[in-house]
Structure formats: C-alpha cells, structure tokens
Structure 1
Amino acid sequence: MTGYVHGYSEREALRLSEQAETLEKLLHHDTVYPPGAKILEAGCGIGAQTVILANNNPDTEITSIDISPESLEKARKNVEGKGIRNVKFLQADIFSLPFEDNSFDHIFVCFVLEHLQNPEEALKSLKKALKPGGTITIIEGDHGSCYFYPEGKKAIEAWNCLIRVQAHMKGNSLIGRQVYPILLEAGFRKVKVDPRMVYVDSSKPELVDGFILKTIIPMVEGVKKQALEMQMMKENDWEKGIKELHETAGPGGTFCYTFFKGRGIK
C-alpha cells in the first residue's frame, strides 16, 4: 500500500467530511442493501462515507476496516457522535484480511483503490471474504476527467501536480476509468460501471461551496509541500495556480469532474 497522498491533518479530515456530505445524493442514493445483510467497508478512513452507508442501511451489520489506527479512532468518534449503532470497527490490511472466506454478503469500497499500488490484488483479497452471489461496490474519481473555466495555465499545472505526486507515491488518481477492467480482472461477474458527473457553476451555490471551495481546492493544496520539494512548480507559480482555481468558483466560473461507480458479483 502507498502512503495517503492527502495526509492525515485535521483540515483533510474536514475536507473528507465536506466531500461526503456534498456528494451524498450523487454517489450514494442507490447504495442500499437488504435488511440483515453483512457488509464489509474496506478502507473506511475517518468514517465520512461510513456515516452515509450506515444511515442508508440502518438494518444491516457493517464492519468497517482501515489500516490506520488514527483514522479508525476518528471514524469511531464520527459514527458514535451521530448515534449510529450498526457499525463495528477493526484495524486490518486489505491485502491480509482477518476474516474467513465467504463472510460477507456485500463489500463497499470508496476512494481507496487510487491509493493502492496493486488494486487488482486488493480486490482479489476482498473477493475471498465475499459470499458467492454477493456484490462488491467500488467508487473512484478520475482526476483526468476534470476540466474547468477559466482555464488558467498555472491552475492546470497545480492540478497536474496532484496527479504527479500521487503517481510518485505509487497511487493512481486516474483509476476511475479503470474500474470496469479491474473488476473483471479480479474475477467479478456482471460488472457494470456508472459514471457520475459533477458540474458546478454559480447557479449552484451549494456545490460551489461544498465541492470547489471545500473539496477540490483543499485537495490540491494538500500536495503543495510535495510538489514544491519535487520542484514540480515554483512557489509563486503555485500560489498563482491556486488563485486561478478560486476563479472557477466565481460568477462566471465552471467546474466539472466525473466519478465512477462500479458493481460486480462474485
């Protein structure tokens, strides 16, 4: 597994929560499982997606795992603070799961594969824990799907730093376009992938605030240290790039990004 490219700061925790809340309807309106189902959430992080998963499926039994004990502690507090009672947390490695084969009815993975050096192996490991006929749901973004206006030159360079830093850390921020083949390669059947596009302009102030200002720009700013240390940009050019990104949140600005939601059956 690679390191988490965005870091573990309080600001990043806030960004993850804002992202989850902003994209809830777009990404999770159809993340619904039958009552009594046993669900494994792999790579729960701070629990931003866990809260939505649990609220949408109150009559299921959810086991949420993550490799980071710090993230798990935040996830526990996040979930308990919402009064949710159908989730249990466990520190575990996706590549070496502490479960017997065929333990879960469904598996849910959101914004995790992009950080893994071997996502196919991760899916094969998860598949073992899934019951025959059970489903896996994968949600990933694709930074190559992003376009915006005004299209500032330095803004594009800063955005590309995000892609390059993650690649340097052996991750893949372009993995959204690979969800279909990766699920097939891992041996899942009846694979279907549904693109979910976010389009933002000033007529959608809640998305301007929640997506551009509180999700996207902080995500880019989170790799500033690595980008400057690796000499991808000079600091004054970086600051100009961030300023140009803010212009996409202005009255005449637009921003577009696509997520990919895939589903397969064991």
Structure 2
Amino acid sequence: MTAYVHGYQSQENSRLHDQARTLVDLLHADTIYPAGATVLEAGCGVGAQTVTLGRQSPDARFVSVDINAESVEEARRKTEAAQLTNVRFHHADIFALPFEADSFDHVFVCFVLEHVAKPVEALTRLKHLLKPGGTITVVEGDHGSAFFNPDSAEARAAIACQVALQRQAGGNALIGRQLYPLLFDAGFGNVRVSPRLVYADASRPELVDGFTRKTFTAMIEGVREPAISAGLIDPRVFDRGIQDLYRTAQDDGVFCYTFFKAVAVK
C-alpha cells in the first residue's frame, strides 16, 4: 500500500462517513450477498462501507481487513454500535492476507485501489482467495470526472494538486476509468463496469451538502498544506479554488462527479 494522502485525522474519519451515508443508494443499492456467503472486504478503513454491507446482507458473513490498526478498531466500534454480528476484523496488508486460497465466495473492494501502487498485483492476490466462480466488486472514483458550474480554473488547479499528491505517493486518483483493463489484466472474466454519476444542484440539497461540501470539497481542502509545501500551487490560487468549489454549492451551482463500479468473476 502507498501512503494514505488524506491522513487519519478525525476530520477524515468524519468525511468518510459523510461520503458513505450520502452515496449509499447510488453505490451500494445493488450490493447484496446471499445467506451463508463468505465475503472479504479488502481495505475496510474506518468501517464507512462495512456497516452498509453488514446491514444489507445480514445473513452473509464478512471478514473486513485493513492495513491501519487504528482504522480497524474504529471500524469495529462502528459495527458494534450498529449491533452487527456478522462481521469480524483483521489487521492485515492486502498484499499479505492471512487466508488460504479459495476461502471466500465474494470480495468487496471500495476506494482502495486508488491508494495501491500495484493494483493488478493486488487484484491477482485477491482473485487467489476467491472460490472458483466467486465474484469481486470494485468501486473507485475518478477525480478527472469532476465538472461544475460556475467553472473555475483555480478550482481545477486545486483538484489537480490532490491528483498530483496521490501520484507522488504511488496511487492514482484517476483509477475509476481503468477498472475494466485492470480486472481483465488480473485474469478476471465477465467484467462489467457501470458509471455512477453524482449530480448535485439546489433541487438535491442532501447531495449538495453531503457530497459537494462535505465529501469532495472537504477532501480537496484537506490537502492544502502538503500541496503548498510541495510547491504545486500558490496559496492564493489554492484558496480561491476552494472558495470556488464551495461556490458551486450555492443555489445556482452544479457539481458532477462519476464513480465506477465493477463486478467480475474468477
């Protein structure tokens, strides 16, 4: 795994849960596993997606893992607070998971590959853990898909800073568009990718607040210091860009972003 460019502060914890709550129907309405199925959630983070998975498939059994021990404990607390009993946790690296081959019926990976320097290798290792005929579900964003009204060169420059920082850390903030070839190269079959568009305007105030403000703009705003320290942007340009991103959340503003969800078979 590469360095997590967003950090592990409490603000990032809150942002991830805001994102999960806002996008649950868009991304996960069709993520349901049958009774008795064993599902590996590879890269559970703070449990932002784990609670949704456990609730939507109460009779499936989940094993959720993450490389960060503090995140695993936070995820454990979240599932306990939600009174979920069908999830157990492991602190482990996705490249060194402590499971035998053919251990799981399904694998779920959400917002993880963007932080991985070798995504095809990660997917190949996960495929090894799937039973024959098992499926993998992968969800990723693509920061190159963001567009908005009013348009702003400064806002686009601020977004480019996050993309550049993630690239420097060994990740890829544009990975959503690559899910089909990545899964194909890892040897999966029947790869199907569907774009999931977030469209937020004043008629959808829950998306304006939950996604435009609290998810996307908050994420870009969070890289201000490392972006300036790395010499990627002038502070005044970055601050204007953030101001302009918040401007898209006003009554005449529009913000669009595309996630990509892929399902494939071993």
TM over 0.5: yes
The offset of 1:233, in angstroms, is: 1.3
Match of 1:116 in 2: 116
User: Aligned letter for 2:125?
Assistant: S
Match of 1:219 in 2: 219
Match of 2:196 in 1: 196
Match of 1:182 in 2: 182
Q: What does residue range 1-266 of structure 1 map to in structure 2 within 5 Å? A: 1-266=1-266
**Displaced runs of 4 or more, over 6 A:** none
Distance in structure 1 (CA, Å) of the matches to 2:81 and 2:31: 22
Q: CA RMSD of the aligned region, Å?
A: 0.7
Distance in structure 2 (CA, Å) of the matches to 1:173 and 1:235: 22
The offset of 1:152, in angstroms, is: 1.6
Distance in structure 2 (CA, Å) of the matches to 1:217 and 1:259: 16
Distance in structure 1 (CA, Å) of the matches to 2:179 and 2:237: 34
Secondary structure at the aligned position of 1:218 is classed as helix
| Structure 2: gaps of 5 or more residues | none
The offset of 1:121, in angstroms, is: 0.3
Secondary structure at the aligned position of 1:232 is classed as coil
Distance in structure 2 (CA, Å) of the matches to 1:147 and 1:79: 35
The offset of 1:258, in angstroms, is: 0.4
Distance in structure 1 (CA, Å) of the matches to 2:263 and 2:179: 9
User: Aligned letter for 2:46?
Assistant: I
User: Aligned letter for 1:29?
Assistant: A
User: Aligned letter for 2:250?
Assistant: G
Secondary structure at the aligned position of 1:48 is classed as coil
The offset of 1:234, in angstroms, is: 1.7
Mean Cα deviation higher: 227-236 or 187-196: 227-236
Distance in structure 2 (CA, Å) of the matches to 1:145 and 1:235: 24
The offset of 1:226, in angstroms, is: 1.1
Q: State the Cα deviation string for residues 19-55 of structure 1 (Å, max 9, x = none).
A: 0000000000000111000000000000000000100
Distance in structure 2 (CA, Å) of the matches to 1:243 and 1:22: 22
The offset of 1:225, in angstroms, is: 1.4
Q: TM-score scaled by structure 2? A: 0.99
Distance in structure 1 (CA, Å) of the matches to 2:214 and 2:187: 37
The offset of 1:136, in angstroms, is: 0.3
Mean Cα deviation higher: 218-227 or 115-124: 218-227
The offset of 1:96, in angstroms, is: 1.2
Distance in structure 2 (CA, Å) of the matches to 1:173 and 1:209: 22
The offset of 1:236, in angstroms, is: 1.9
Distance in structure 2 (CA, Å) of the matches to 1:235 and 1:181: 37
The offset of 1:141, in angstroms, is: 0.4
Q: State the Cα deviation string for residues 64-97 of structure 1 (Å, max 9, x = none).
A: 0001001101101111111111000001111111
Distance in structure 1 (CA, Å) of the matches to 2:42 and 2:36: 19
User: Aligned letter for 2:118?
Assistant: N
Q: TM-score scaled by structure 1? A: 0.99
| Structure 1: gaps of 5 or more residues | none
Distance in structure 2 (CA, Å) of the matches to 1:149 and 1:261: 26
Distance in structure 1 (CA, Å) of the matches to 2:88 and 2:51: 12
